Chains A and B, each alone.
Chain A
Amino acid sequence: MTTLERSASEPIAVPALPIAKKFRFPTNALLPVIGPIAFIGVWYAICAAHVVRPVLLPTPFVTLAFLVDSLIHGTMMQDVLATLTRTLEAFAIGAVVGVPLGVALGANLRLYRSVEFLVDFFRSMPASALIPLFILFFGIADVNKVAIAGFSVFLIVVFNSAYGVMNARKSRVLAAKVMGASSFQIFRDVLLFESLPQTFIGLRNGISTALVIVVVAEMFIGSEHGLGHRIIEGEQVLHVADMYASIIVAGIIGYLLNVIFMLLDSRLIHWNGK
């Protein structure tokens, strides 16, 4: 308010602007790296100040060096591939079953209402609570980890796809109807596309969840490979550099999966938000 009044009464004060410009941060492109650098700095400072014993927290440089070494010379890549494969398998199963079923449910409101509570209930339940149950049915083989993660993906995807169809803009459905489109044509040409933005949100959440559940499952359901297994083993034999490196790799995988989905989203659903 005061700046407004001042600029109205003193229009000559405008040349002050270029001076203010001098204090602006030089390049906005550098902004995103400030956070990570600060993070590594704090981490290093904690190590250097001996706040935490080195056996519990190696320096970031030791950790990163180990990470690179284990990727190139060690078995890290094997574990990455194991986790990634399980995640993608779980995602594929959940998506292939979930999207069509969700779309069908969304198109049939009475059907959806009758299973809404079930979907909401299982969606709200922590999937990890079901791990013992899945062990009972699937044993501790690889299929177990994929099954439970796939189930979680399925729940998220079903809900989002159904929601997308149900919230399709009525006006577009009416437009298709008045142009003489049949129910099937309306479904194929309008409802399906209307549901895509929400379906994609489901898929993106789904792949993140798949990674979470796979890593947890690898920790607690006997396995020989995978990042979850590697992390818990690093902790138990106190090979902490390995543990931290594996945690970082798991984070990188999650981040990259997210980025890929965001790129796909803006490519495939080009009309979203326009």
Chain B
Amino acid sequence: MMTAPVPPAVDEPFVTVRGLDKAFGGQPVYQNFNLDLPRGKMTTVFGPNGCGKSTLINMMAGLIPFDAGRVEIGGKDFRAARIGYVFQNYRDSLFPWMRALENIEYPLSVRGVPRAQQRERVDKLLAAFEIKLDLKRHTYELSGGQQQLVAILRALVAEPEVLFLDEPFSALDYEMTLYIRDKLQTVFLETGLTTVVVSHDLEEAVYLADRVLLLSKRPTRVVEMIHYDTPRPRTTEIMSDPEFVRTKAHALQLFRAEMAR
């Protein structure tokens, strides 16, 4: 991880998008869209409803096809990259016929990693992030927050190069949201993983982010890549910090201007 604050121009791009086109039913969402996401930073994606925040990370993760353009992750085609992805709805993305442990091990098992090593790797993850879970349980027996934790661990277990999260807190109650947000920060601090989080909550977007990617209405373009370099670990107290308030106000102003357009 980088220690000294880095001036904006020196952000080292890790995920690059060039000339991306995507239309839904003839309506263009992205047209010749270009984007660089910095290595080892947490970027949150924020923008008006329907601007295609989730669509964007889904395309970068290879979950949905795009019409034209190029996505590279770590200098190679995105299809060759190891990707961790956390879905908005844990209930529909975990496998309820498997136990929690088998869910987390699944990405290793499809790669043919021996069983003993799978378990070892999961235990290491749990220890690193101080997570206590009864992994013998089936996923539907766990609480919503625990299920989303399983989903995050599953996304991390195969040591991805980039971690995408699509509104990971929107199906959780507030208490769980705070807890999982904390865990996500711990994960980020421990791994320094390039992380992209789609958020529909501006406060949360700024709180979590090194960079807030503010998107426009359709056809979508980048309004601004807002920097927020307050050191981690961050606690909820920083939400009253002048720098936080200023950054949030700036983002809100840009967002309002974009809505009024």
Contacts and interface: CB of A to CB of B under 8 A. Distances in A.
Interface stretch (A4-12, A88-96, A155-163, A168-176): A168-176
A175 B95 CA distance: 9
Nearest to B64: A174
Interface in B58-106: 61-63, 82-83, 85, 87, 89, 92-97, 106
B82 A180 contact: yes
B87 A175 contact: yes
B62 A178 contact: yes
B257 interface: no
B122 interface: no
A171 B110 contact: no
12 contacts: A171-B89, A172-B93, A174-B63, A175-B94, A175-B95, A177-B62, A179-B107, A179-B154, A181-B106, A181-B110, A182-B110, A193-B97
A169 B94 CA distance: 11
Contacts of A196: 97
A178 B85 CA distance: 7
**Interface residue range, chain A:** 20 to 34
Interface of A: 169, 171-172, 174-182, 185, 189-190, 193, 196, 270-271, 274
Contact of B97 (A171, A174, A271): A271
A179 B63 contact: no
B140 interface: yes
Given A175-B95, A196-B97, 8 more contacts: A172-B92, A172-B95, A174-B63, A175-B87, A179-B110, A179-B154, A180-B107, A189-B106
Contacts of A179: 85, 106-107, 110, 154, 158
Contacts of A177: 62-63
A182 B107 CA distance: 11
Question: Which 10 pairs, one residue from A and one from B, show the smallest C-beta to C-beta distance?
Answer: A271-B96, A274-B140, A179-B107, A171-B92, A175-B93, A181-B110, A178-B85, A193-B97, A171-B93, A174-B63
Nearest to B88: A171
Query: Would you call the interface of chain B mostly helix, strand, loop, or mixed?
Result: loop
Contacts of B97: 193, 196, 270-271
B167 to A, nearest CB: 13
B87 to A, nearest CB: 6
Q: Which of A171, A172, A176, A177 has the most CB of B within 10 A?
A: A171
Interface in B22-79: 61-63
B139 to A, nearest CB: 8
B138 interface: yes
A271 B99 CA distance: 11
A189 B92 CA distance: 15
Contacts of A274: 96, 140
Interface residues of B, number: 22
Interface in B137-176: 138, 140, 154, 158
B143 to A, nearest CB: 13
A213 to B, nearest CB: 33
Q: Which of A171, A178, A185, A271 has the most CB of B within 10 A?
A: A178
A219 B247 CA distance: 83
B136 interface: no
A181 B110 CA distance: 6
A178 B92 CA distance: 14
Given A178-B61, A179-B106, A180-B82, A270 B92 contact: no
Contacts of B83: 178
B89 A175 contact: no
A274 B107 CA distance: 24
Nearest to A175: B93
Q: Which of A174, A179, A182 has the most CB of B within 10 A?
A: A179
Nearest to A185: B110
B132 interface: no
B118 to A, nearest CB: 13
A274 B96 CA distance: 8
B149 to A, nearest CB: 16
Nearest to A181: B110
Nearest to A196: B97
Contacts of A172: 92-93, 95
